[in-house]
Structure 1
């Protein structure tokens, strides 16, 4: 049974957290009376990480125009389950907007009015549903209600996403999905190597022999630890109307995709070359690599940049080479380069942080560092 999460959101804007099995309402100011002039209201809604937001429109009556220029309600989806907003629509006409879902745990509503013609406004019911994007370098995914018994008649789809250019390792640490048959025809899970329903199955059911694998998981035996071939994992959970179990708990973490890492310079190995993946050819789209280079205590690290070929933008937002004076992404910045870098850079102490990145779908050839060397300070 659903219960109210707090008093209905009748203010002109509010941050709202909507939990599992809760609901609330977002209403235009003064609803059901006419809303006022010159309003600019914004609501930001957040659900738990493994859930998405459902909006059910009960009443919708604004000043209706062809392009919704005067009075309008705009919806923004939190892209990939983050607060990077993607505008999904602007509405003012009856029946334009009925029921809609977020792609992950964030959604934003923006209500604006002009100085004339006021109507009743809107009344929208807000609930949280299982499914949606889950984004992060590591985390967990659980069935609805876990560790309690999951509800009947659920159909949940999650898309787990780690950073571009990484892969993912996932592991079940608890599983109790009810099905009396090895084929898992009652309650079951499906995992796919990608982010959509056409991606290849993971055939990892320990109850099924190699010739019996059908892509369905159920029961209580834990599948083996498994790696994806990209940064995306599709997870589907289905329960029928009969008995239920405790469900599942799945852990995930990103793993490096063949670039980056820690480099230790020693007296015996005082020079090393690094480059972007596939160099001198182009790397894969949306590639990101991080290196941390250590010299011996009391010595500096010098970096010679032999070649840099990335797509230029004024602030190097699309691609570039970032160098920091220390051992992490929070160390003091030496520079970010996407054109005409200095030939040589040096650390203050014995550590440098280097990050190569491209957000382009058709990246240039990347970079090559001629060498890292160290010397006494």
Structure 2
């Protein structure tokens, strides 16, 4: 039985994790993406009691900061979870002399008209105001006239919005930039104004993968608050050819039977279906067999829930084995051999019942013979033996309405 493990603790939002051993004695190290501050322990270890020595840290965006990198991101505090009340933040962006600063507004949602972002052309408090924005109204982009921008964010004492996500980059004076998409495969062009000529560099640059891993986080809309009804959201994850995509379900809770996340092994909805998930029962992680993965999240117009946080990364597939199938939630795994032809089986914690007991077999196509089973707390049943556990349906989540469950408990004669 694989009991000497602490399980995958996840990766902080806007963070990076080093290390992949979750066994006793394993060590994980964390750092934050550029511009973020790490709060908590930078290193955690898996102890002999199968518990991590500390919770994973958080990566927060500071409320007061200076930026001198040629490009980067400015986020409202706690974006996209919603900023706090009574905020007064200032960010200064400084580029090289002889350049200007280009802002791209990727997402903008403030409480109108009480919370607002002011953009000033210069360092000083009385610098020229380029714009003041509130609500959901913001320009798609904005250029400074100097090499220094001042961003002032003020929030009052009451309601809050989702916040904002703004990327900045430096551009030459007497030039215009075209393109605000920084995704893999996208391009950005810088064109000189009339009367000026390009003296160095290239006119167009493209975002390409430089022998690195693709890694990121996908959040349901409104996370960690409840998502809205009548949604249809699509995500396509792409990595370089020859690599696969691993997704880890860090958090998952949707309305059972009505709000679904479909995952397809390929670039679109017509690709083979890996699984359709709802409620709280999801595998620990999933792998694609190609360098694309398609996700579709649909909701009805009634009740909702907190949604999901999914971590994705590119991985190299072993030619002679399947990927680690993970563990069922509230369950155990028997077997550590994942080579082709090997089998693993599963059991459940006390009070839970395995959805199917057939072992998983690693097949020649590097896929397991069927999906990971689930451990469910059912409504009623027969309980035998000297001791045991009875759980309400769906535990530890809330039980459904209109239930009538009966359990029969049988022990040895004379007990």
**What TM-score, normalized by structure 2, do the two folds share?**
0.32
Choose between structure 1 and 2 for higher RCO, CA contacts under 8 A separated by at least 6 residues. 1
